[in-house]
Structure 1
Amino acid sequence: MKRKFITVVIPSIIIASLLSSCTNTSNSTAAKATKVSSLKDQYIKASLPSKNPEKAKNRKDTFIAAISEPGGVFLPYFYDNGWDGNATDPIFPSLVSTDEKGNPIADLAEKWDISSDNLTYTYHLRKRLKFSDGSPLTSDDVAFTLTLLDDPSYSGSFDISTCYIKGSTDYKNGKATSISGIAVVDPLTIKITTEKINPLNLTRLGGQVLSKAYYGKDYKKGNLDYLKSLYSRPLGAGPYKLDKYIPGQEIRYTANENYYKGKPKIENFIFKVTSKDTNLQLFQTGEIDSDSFSTDKDTVDQLENLGFANIRISTVSDYGFVYMNNKKPYLKDKNVRQALIYGLDRQKIVDVAYKGYGEVANVPTSPLVLSYTTDGINSYKFNPEKAKKLLEDDGWRLNSNGIREKNGQKLKISYLTSKNTDQTIPIAKENYKALGIDFEPEIMDFNTLVEKLNKGDYDLAAVRTSGLVDPNDSVEEFSSKKTSENVSGYFNPKVDELISEGVNTLNVKKRKAIYKKLYKELSDDPPVILIDYRKGLKAWNSRIKGMENDNFAGVSSTNLSKLKIEN
């Protein structure tokens, strides 16, 4: 499982690997896409592949896809930057992966068994699995990975405690030298016994696998600092292995001859760092083969007129939002947080940003997720007068300069963003000035923004989620028990209880009912400002074959090996 990664406001690429934490219970509605805006999903096939630019045609053994701002932590479970998740995915496959609709599919594990009480998971690994250095991948490596995540010094975003592995707590607290619920049956079989049901456990327990020989060589319980030296030197069993990382420019990979599906047909793969200002030009000239673009008619027309571009317009399983730092004294009161939502013209932001390809979000999940509902949810339609009243009721009075004050403190709020053309800034400036709020935007690189979020050094911060499949994906961080993930500092005991209930049953109907209650509570006591759902616009060079049937124009470990180049 990967946490809800923090991504930029309009990411260059969201790949299928980010769709995690799903189970069969999550699939009944995953394929029933609720349309964002009145526009239908579209797939536009290249009309004139012969118009391919020479730069692309001459690149016969290299596929170049776009990425935004990787931070260089290329180790699963240890990065905060979601782009690092994208970067590690070609290197590290999972026991159980997911298809483009979120259904679990076999990867390193050829099959699995789940006990009748849904508490014991037995994974059967494929024969002759190898890491890229030729060393064998066995169930010992799986056991090591899970043990590493249960180490008392582990502080990453993967919360293994919610998997409820038997003996996990005793191991972490030093009462046991091993985890009793993890049993290596033989080199190809591992059995994991849990104490409570969690509908996410199939993929959480069956996640990406780390080499015990490589990552465990210097392992000592209680000290994981040694792993930092390996962040830039990853060793995995995926279709590609890292060749070179050039910060701010690109990540280069070469095909892994030891990959269990066989060496990929494309010898070299590159993630090239692009920006909204340059990505269309780079695609037009053939310098990149795949990217995501601003979703608007002009861009669609430009891509279509190229002739060599395959284009997909589809609802993206994510949402954009603005963190509110609930630990700040002036944001602790829900009246102020509600006022910030009522007082912001979110519809205007969506109209400017997506030009008919988006809609205002009012529920913290994707319209594609089974739990999605707006029944009984406050839509927070733009209402400056209501926002003013909420602030007045909370004691914030206008001073002689038109700025609200309370107990001698001015209502001065910073806003962090990593996007130079963030459409929220001019609209929020105007809207919040009218309310008497001193709004101060600050644009910074994405990795600095993530660092400030993790430190709690912000008031407001604009981000997106990664791909969402299970209802829990986007809400678990609002639990006060998730200290490493709860960057908003939100605290609501009722929300804590409902989040826990949501992953303690496999019954889809019951889960829907729980999340309906949860969304209502999160609406009444909002931890964040929800902004938008959107259509995504992806295009790839028609010479790259194998991406046509993938709704996410896939650049993940499960489908990179399927790609080939045909000029």
Structure 2
Amino acid sequence: MRKKFITVLIPSLIIASILSSCSSKSNINNAAKATKVSSVKDQYITAKSPNKNPKKAVEHKDTFISAISEPGGVFLPYFYDNGWDGNATEPIFPSLVGTDEKGNPIADLAKTWDISSDNLTYTYHLRKDLKFSDGSPLTADDVAFTLTLLDDPSYNGSFDISTCYIKGSDDYKKGSATSISGIQVVDPLTIKITTEKVNPLNLTKLGGQVLSKAYYGKDYQKGKLDYLKALYSKPLGAGPYKLDKYIPGQEIRYKANETYYNGKPKIENLIFKVTSKDTNLQLFETGDVDYDSFSTDKDTVDQIENLGFANIRISTVSDYGYVYMNNKKSYLKDKNVRQALIYGLDRQKIVDVAYKGYGEVATVPTSPLVWSYNTDGVNKYKFDPEKAKKLLDADGWKLNSNGIREKNGQKLKLSYLTSKNTDQTIPVAKENYKALGIDFEPEIMDFNTLVEKLNKGDYDLAAVRTSGLVDPNDSVEEFSSKKASENVTGYYNSKVDDLISEGVSTLNVKKRKVIYQKLYKELSNDPPVILIDYRKSLRAWNSRIKGLDNNNFAGVSSTNLSKLKIEN
């Protein structure tokens, strides 16, 4: 899949292609059978009084303003750590193969594709006359360059192209070949990619976002990718929009791309405005922002509905919230301690306070919308403080005179990183863990600092959300010890490693379901993280923006941005 997105805040900007970058059609067809989240039904509420539009919104005659949280300024696909940067690249960089609102593959830069009968060879047929925003042509050579860049021995991003098993990839990395034999440019509009093993994710993984060879490859030398850092803030793509200006902490401005293959977007200006949960509702009410997500509760729904000019969608989100446990720390290596941290945390209370009936406690590491979702035989870890105490006692953590557990002279003191001022886990964990004899110390910081600490392993516990999930591999591959760049928890379990690999070794959905059921049981018995919640989202947009109501995600993507229009 694309780079793993560490999303601590509920996303303001939901992008359909991120939600479904690793999907396959057979996978999505099974999603309808999955369990719904909470008793609150999905709802779509249309604006009752569009004429009540605020003056500021009406004045934005040719500008669509969508909210975003904390971009970090790395606007280059495959190279960012911050998921908001992934959102920011979406209008600029289209993929060979896109995805619709249900996650099914659809034509984007590639008009068609062929897959061999053995599912090992992928041939993409590009559209004619594709151009980057500077007017230069986009051809199969650019696709080949992008894949080669991802296979460079010095590439250290978390897009793991090795799982595509491209023929000749290893020889290229080791230096015994000057090119990758499995990547064949047939002609300017055709590229053939031969792999050595089956991977059900390969169609969209190999058919991802395309980088310009002339622009990003001008200074390319094998094994030396640092030169790309100078281009992080100067993106060049072939999407519906091109970057105009980035003002850190405030907004990202885009201009419509007149060279876009699907026609210049009808809306000239696109702005991603940085908002927070403290200000977003006010900015939406005044017309400073056209689209955002909000706290999911009945009062907020009623408040937005009463504005009159807003379209509202309440829908199950294909993600889950959880807490990283740093398995590299000596006091978190033992699964007894990790299990105790789950048993001893009243997760139901956290969900009740945070979502007020619009969420439920997570039990397996995937979304209830994903076809592999199955809780049979899985430990639900019902809140049980006494069991937590027994596990800690059994592991040698004894209470000292101050009521704090110690082992071999070390106190059980845990830091907890979050970027949310309103993180409902903090008050619950403080109370619960104090009762267990654990010194719990929350630290609230900006999102990008939190990401840096995670990547350095400088944490004990940290609040995160997954990006949007469609394929079951999306949410479990980070627990594989073979994925060093993604496995920020330092978790190691050889059985889990094997099951994760098995999960992407076949296209047979029935076989994959069995594999993931085994995997969920093993991850339940030896938990790498604390699962917290599944949720519904509340998204609203100004009804003058047409084209956002045609899918359940109500989001913006490179494939639908050019179709949006404004009707004041």
**TM-score, length-scaled by structure 1:** 0.99
Matched residue SS, 1:466: coil
Give the distance between the partners of 2:470 and 2:484, measured in 1 at CA. Answer: 23
Aligned to 2:518: 517
**What is the alpha-carbon distance in structure 2 between the residues aligned to residue 32 and residue 293 of structure 1?**
28
Give deviations 1:44-84, integer Å, cap 9, x for gaps. 00000000001101110000000000000000000010000
> Match for residue 10 of structure 1?
10
Paired position in structure 1 for 2:36: 35
Separation in structure 2 between the aligned mates of residue 110 and residue 535 of structure 1, nearest angstrom = 34
Q: Aligned to 1:557, what secondary structure does the other structure show?
A: coil
2:378 paired residue number: 377
Q: Which runs of 5+ in 2 are unaligned?
A: none
1:531-550 C-alpha deviation (Å, 9 max, x unpaired) = 00000000000000001112
Question: What does residue 225 of structure 1 align with?
Answer: 226
The aligned counterpart of 2:459 is 458
Structure 2 residue aligned with 1:115: 116
Match in the other structure for 2:157: 156
> What is residue 424 of structure 1 aligned with on the other side?
425
CA contact under 8 A between 2:256 and 2:267: conserved in structure 1? yes
CA distance in 2, matches of 1:240, 1:506: 35
Kept in 2: contact 1:30–1:102 (CA 8 A)? no
CA distance in 2, matches of 1:33, 1:259: 38
Show the counterpart of 2:353: 352
Q: 1:5 is aligned with what amino acid?
A: F
Cα offset for 1:556? 1.1
How many angstroms does 1:14 deviate by?
A: 2.6
Question: Partners in 1 of 2:288 and 2:399 — Cα distance?
Answer: 54
Provide the rounded CA distance (Å) in 2 between the counterparts of 1:75 and 1:13. 18
Question: CA separation in 1, counterparts of 2:341 and 2:195?
Answer: 43
Which amino acid in 2 is paired with 1:278?
A: T
2:47 is paired with a residue whose SS is coil
- TM-superposed CA distance for 1:11, in Å, is 2.7
User: What is the Cα deviation at residue 33 of structure 1?
Assistant: 5.4
Whole-angstrom distance in 1 between the partners of 2:12 and 2:109: 29
Structure 2 partner of 1:319: 320
Aligned: 1:493 with 2:494:
yes
Distance 2:34 2:280 in 1: 28
Where in structure 1 do 4 or more consecutive aligned residues deviate above 6 Å? none
In structure 2, distance between residues paired with 1:106 and 1:201? 15
Q: Within 5 A, what are the aligned runs for 1:1-80?
A: 1-19=1-19, 20-32=21-33, 34-80=35-81
Aligned to 2:168: 167
Paired residue type of 1:17? S
SS in 2 for 1:306: coil
State the partner residue of 1:264: 265
Whole-Å separation in 1 of the counterparts to 2:198 and 2:155: 23
Which residue does the alignment assign to 2:213? 212
The one-letter amino acid paired with 1:131 is F
The superposition leaves residues 405-439 of structure 1 with CA deviations (integer Å, 9 ceiling, x where unpaired) of: 00000000000000011110010000000000000
Task: Supply the AA of the counterpart residue of 2:255.
Answer: T
Q: In structure 2, what is the Cα distance between the partners aligned to 1:33 and 1:423?
A: 27
Partner of 2:243: 242
1:32 positional shift: 4.5
Describe the SS at the equivalent of 1:561. Answer: helix
CA distance in 2, matches of 1:201, 1:104: 11
Say if 2:241 and 2:255, in contact at 8 Å, map to a contact too. Answer: yes
Contact 1:369 1:471 in 2 (8 A): yes
Q: Contact 2:4–2:159 (CA<8 Å) still a contact in 1?
A: no
SS at match of 1:248: coil
- Rounded Cα–Cα distance in structure 1 between residues aligned with 2:28 and 2:442: 40
Task: Find the counterpart in structure 2 of residue 200 from structure 1.
Answer: 201
Instruction: Report how far residue 29 of structure 1 moved.
Output: 1.7
Q: Which amino acid aligns with 1:469?
A: V
The CA deviation at 1:24 is: 2.2
| Alpha-carbon distance in structure 2 between the residues aligned to 1:320 and 1:184 | 42
Match of 2:307 in 1: 306
Paired amino acid for 1:198? N
Residue identity matched to 2:38: S
Residue in structure 2 matched with residue 473 of structure 1 by the alignment: 474
Within a 5 Å distance, the mapping from 1:548-567 to structure 2 comes to: 548-567=549-568
Q: CA deviation at 1:8?
A: 1.6
Deviation at 1:256, TM superposition (A): 0.1
In the alignment, the residues of structure 1 paired with residue 62 and residue 10 of structure 2 have an alpha-carbon distance, to the nearest angstrom, of: 30
For 1:2 and 1:496, locate their aligned partners in 2 and report how far apart those are by CA, in whole Å: 20
Deviations 1:281-340 (A, max 9, x none): 000000000000010000000000000000000000000000000000000000000000
Q: CA deviation at 1:553?
A: 1.6
Q: Report what 1:407 is aligned to.
A: 408
Read off the aligned partner of 2:11 and give its amino acid letter.
Answer: P
TM-aligned CA deviation for residue 35 of structure 1: 1.5
Q: Report the alpha carbon displacement of residue 31 of structure 1 after superposing the two structures with TM.
A: 4.1
Asked if structure 2 preserves the Cα contact closer than 8 Å seen for 1:254 and 1:269, the reply is yes
Which residue in the other structure is 2:534 paired with? 533
User: What's 1:291 paired with?
Assistant: 292
2:356 counterpart letter in structure 1:
K
1:131 matched residue in structure 2: 132
Question: Which residue is equivalent to 2:441?
Answer: 440
How far apart in 2 are the matches of 1:351 and 1:3? 31
What amino acid does structure 1 have at the position aligned with 2:340? A
SS where residue 379 of structure 1 aligns? Answer: coil
Matched-pair contact (CA < 8 Å) for 1:33–1:315: no
Q: Which amino acid aligns with 2:445?
A: M
Determine the C-alpha separation between the residues in 1 that align with 2:43 and 2:402. 51
Q: TM-score, normalised by structure 2?
A: 0.99
Aligned pairs, number: 567
1:103-158 deviation per Cα after TM superposition (whole angstroms, max 9, x unaligned): 01000000000000000000000000000000000000000000000000000010
- Give unmatched runs, 5+ long, in structure 1: none
